[in-house]
Amino acid sequence: MTVPSEVGVIGGGRMGVGIAHAFLLAGANTVILERDADAAAQALAAIESAVLRSVERGSAGEDAATLLERCAVTTEVQRLATVGLAVEAVPEDPELKIAMLGRVEAVLADDAWLATNTSSLSIALLAAGLARPERFCGLHFFNPVPSSTLVEIVRGAGTSDELTDAARDWVHAIGKTPIVVNDSPGFASSRLGVVVALEAIRMLEDGVASAEDIDTAMVLGYKFPVGPLHLTDLVGLDVRLGIAEYLHGALGERFAPPALLREKVAAGLLGRKSGEGFFTWPEPKPTGEPHTTKDH
């Protein structure tokens, strides 16, 4: 089981850096594509920090200098012309993703693979403008990438068996477990996860229990690694709302976003990235554990 010798990641946010880091540790040269110099500098600082943490934990097979020599950040899409796999990880906006996928495919070699990290958007929709849809699939990584062990491989109608088999190998090679699902709204993970999260938000809205106790019920009662409200803060309330709105339109009323979720997003309470969501998050908080308060 091996990864491509060079992997490109489009988007150097939290997810993109995590994906690049995973492939870097598995032996690939990685290239992160960002929109401008400021974003590229932030992505470079983030990948450097991730590499140093992995070396300190003893989870990297190479020293930090060697790893970072194999990682580059660029603002030039042409730099991806030599990669064997490009993974798009820009925000969950269909128009943005379609535009970026088209730009990247245009510079890729004919035998390169292309994937999207979308958590819910239709693979068919994203592939509609591609010249080689058989070389395109979903690779849905989970947040935070370093500690998450699942990757959802999403087959579009045109995705080849060769790509599906190769994707399984890549996921195993980076130390994670693949599942394969067919293209459908929310795939398997987001569809199930959003149902639980939305019901937890409704319970909080209805005064059934505190955020802490709702999460504890799922962690201790059902062995969830983190509670659904904690996870929503990590994912971002705005991201959760966008996915819920998409699934509401595709699958019906059971995915209707609760008023509380809309209110918090409108108020800018987006979770960890804004410092407050269903919990209060001190800054900086590298461990991923929230400081909770009883009034959320």
- pLDDT (tens digit, 9 = 90+) per residue, 119-156? 889 999 999 999 999 999 999 998 889 888 999 999 99
Listed in sequence order, the DSSP H helices in the chain are 14-25, 37-57, 64-69, 94-107, 123-127, 161-173, 189-205, 211-222, 228-235, 237-251, 259-266
Q: What would the mean pLDDT of 81-105 be, rounded to a whole number?
A: 96
Range(s) for CATH 3.40.50.720 in the chain? 6-182
CB 232 within 8 A of CB 240: yes
Range(s) for CATH 1.10.1040.10 in the chain? 188-274
d(CA 264, CA 80): 38
- pLDDT (tens digit, 9 = 90+) per residue, 243-267? 999 999 999 999 999 999 999 999 9
Beta bridge partners of 276: 271, 280
Chain-centre distance for alpha carbon 191: 15
Beta bridge partners of 136: 114
CATH architecture of 6-182: 3-Layer(aba) Sandwich (3.40)
- pLDDT (tens digit, 9 = 90+) per residue, 16-70? 999 999 999 999 999 999 999 999 999 999 999 999 999 999 989 899 999 999 9
HEC string of 7-69 equals: EEEECCCHHHHHHHHHHHHCCCEEEEECCCHHHHHHHHHHHHHHHHHHHHHCCCCCCHHHHHH
Q: How wide is the angle at C-alpha 162 spanned by C-alphas 161 and 164, nearest 5°?
A: 60
d(CA 3, CA 23): 7
d(CA 231, CA 193): 10
Whole-prediction pTM: 0.85
The CATH code belonging to domain 188-274 is 1.10.1040.10
